[in-house]
Amino acid sequence: MILNRNHKDGFDEFLDAFLEEAIEANGCYCGGGGKDDRLNVVVELGRRSGSPDAKLTGIIAWLEARVDVQDWMIGEEFDVWHGDFRTPFEKGHTT
């Protein structure tokens, strides 16, 4: 997931809110980084039996509700243990 904010200040506060309210609140984990107005993370949605679609829907709802999120992009879902390790972001997979 790559997201862009519409301003550069308050990144630490934004990151804390993203982690607590979007990621942890939906039972997910993520890793990555960012700075100022851009965040680039891999989000772990869990096993197929754990409703990953519902978790992703919750994260997307959080992003859509934020006035400081300018735009965001989600790559194809992949299995970090047994998946195809090509670049997960390809043209045409933007939201």
The string of pLDDT tens digits covering residues 19-42 is 999 999 999 999 999 999 999 999
How is the chain split into domains, by residue range? 2-73
Determine the pLDDT at residue 94: 47
Q: Which of 78, 69, 59, 79 is nearest to 39 (CA)?
A: 69
38-91 pLDDT, tens digit each: 999 999 988 766 788 999 999 999 999 999 999 999 988 777 777 665 655 544
- Burial zone of 59 (CB within 10 Å; 0-12 exposed, 13-18 middle, 19+ buried): buried
Q: C-alpha dihedral over 75, 81, 85, 91, to 10 degrees?
A: -10
Looking at the chain, list the stretches that DSSP marks H as alpha helix, in order from N- to C-terminal side: 11-17, 52-65
Determine the pLDDT at residue 8: 95
Q: Which residues contact 4 (CB under 8 A, 6 or more apart)?
A: 37, 38, 69, 70, 71, 72
Model confidence at 92: pLDDT above 70: no
Can you give the pTM of this predicted structure? 0.81
